[in-house]
Amino acid sequence: MVPSLLFEIMLIGLLGIGSQWLAWRYRMPAIVVMSITGLLVGPILGIINPEEDFGRLYSSIISVAVAIILFEGSLNLSFKELRGLGKPVFRISTVGAFIAWILGSLTAHYIAGLSWAVAFVIGGLFIVTGPTVIMPLLRQSKLKPRPAKILKWEGIIVDPIGALLAVFAFEIIAYLTSTTPDGSALLLFFAASIFAAIFGWLCGRGIGWMFETGHVPEFLKSPAVFVVVILCFTIADEIMHETGLLSVTAMGMTLANMGISSVSDMRHFKENITILLISAIFIMLTASLKMDTLLHIFNPNIIGYVLLMMFAVRPLSIFLSTIGSGLTTNEKFLVGWIAPRGIVALTVSSYFASVLTEAGYEDASILTTLTFGLVFFTVLAHGFSIGWLAKKLNLSMEGRPGSLIVGSNKFTVELAKSLIKASVPVIIVDNSWERLRIARESGVPFYHEDMLSEQTEYNLDTIPYEYLISATTSNSYNALVCTTFMPEYGRTNVFKVSPYDREYGSSKEIVSKVGGRVLFKKEAPLDDLIEKIERGFVFRQTKITEQYNYKQYLQDKDEETVFLYLIKPTGQIKFYSEEMRTVPGVGDTIVSLMPPTKEKAKIETRLEDEQ
């Protein structure tokens, strides 16, 4: 046991973020690593038991965390994303959810041996996937935009629907089995659900109006949103349990579609908080499980139930609900397979386990075991298979990490051509059709729009590109682009051309201190790079071998040579900058911009041979 509650809080945070890092480092599903870590420190080794140690605070902490996670996910649900996806998303979230509820309930009754009452409650709950498990999988798998958006929308929309279906089923059961049936409870449930949706909309509109009119200062905007989210969830949840999830979803979607710039600005901060919460909550939930719960998972009935839910109920509900929706067979296969359950299923099932047991349904005692079995097996199966299956179905964007170049000019077009030659995905973005003429004539992929435009955010697929290079003639614009996209791409993957000014010996602008890394070297501004292209400089690939090492290469290179990027044997790219610490080794390929002297020497030698 840990020495204090403070130490346990520290340990949970450390284990959660440590699991995320381990998953990133070895390219494993984060939720799998977190679940295994929680089981090790909880029921297996008995180091912590958050449910017992936190006492009454445990359920409240979990509930608030789930509300914030669901809100952050719904904050990404802009209706502009639904262009071309409206029909499949609507079908899956309505018809598909209903089919999954009915089939899941039948499976729970006939296979898991649950009574009809308990089966319909758990059947409603298990239609959820949820952002806590879907978002990490989407980040890891690099799916193409269409299936990725469908899974994201389904996960966030169906999350509150599943909880409400479980509550609805419970109210119906209570009504039908009551000796003196009273329809007031059912009316209260529907009224509370409608109130929760309206209240969430009002909270979203209210906080959005305050932001737009300047009633909330910048430094208070993120704290204000979090407080309103908790208020929105708590009030709705106090009126009717689990309607709080519907309320925060409505609030998030309202804010997402109001077009408020400050909401977009704080999105990355909220994403960071969400990652921290997901990490901590998964550790807490799995560490709080009992050993007998884990052992009971291997009951044949529970294993049979889990397998049917994964291989029959989910695929059937997707295939039946998406008939005529425009989805391809491959997309149906992928969406029909990927349905990992997560935090909402675990937390809500534990609530219904106690409520149904108190109501006299003794078989409800196995709900926690049943839920964890489904959660654990789906997380493992879908976490490890999504990347492989996406590649097999040609729905993955996997490949060499691509580069998105902002600014079309002679240098960037030649740089893009060299990347294409190295089989690296590349695209040039510029808002000038005239400047893009160079890219068009060279056959380089391009996108005609301002990189900072809202239209670019919704219409340009940025998934294939892990690096961003801003190389326009405006140093201020380059710095702004890098600052804007640094949270999305990461500090080490965002570059700008040097703002160096030879007349002053350094940059005369403050932007040299702002934005991404300076590309190549400080003394290589865009004007110089373009001038080198006009003078006939060429892009040359040089492979470092045991016979021709990096030291020899440095001795042979011309003084005017500019190192551009490094291609590792794995296909990974590393752009040169003064902050780069990697030393090229055997097997690495250096791409540089070199004077055409060697090319001239080759031509002269060839001409002499021909004579």
List the domain boundaries for the chain. Answer: 5-392, 402-610
Predicted confidence at residue 1, as pLDDT, reads 65
pLDDT value at position 607?
A: 44
Q: Phi/psi of residue 564, each to 5°?
A: -105, -65
Residue 329, SS3? helix
Q: Which of 7, 541, 67 is nearest to 274 (CA)?
A: 67
Query: Looking at residue 601, what is its pLDDT?
Result: 57
pTM: 0.65
SS3 content of the chain, % helix, strand, coil (to 5): 65, 10, 25
In the CATH scheme, what is the code of domain 5-392?
1.20.1530.20
- Residues of the chain below pLDDT 50: 508, 510, 603, 606-607, 610-611
| Residues 205, 209, 212, 217, Cα dihedral to 10° | -110
What whole-number distance in Å separates Cα of residue 565 and Cα of residue 584? Answer: 10
Which pLDDT value is given to residue 158? 75
Q: Domain 402-610: which topology? A: Rossmann fold (3.40.50)
Cα–Cα distance between 608 and 524 in angstroms, integer? Answer: 36
Q: Residue 17: how many CB atoms within 10 A of its CB? A: 16
CB 349 within 8 A of CB 367: yes
| pLDDT reported for residue 400 | 63
Whole-number pLDDT of residue 149: 79
pLDDT at 215: 85
Residue 605's pLDDT is 55
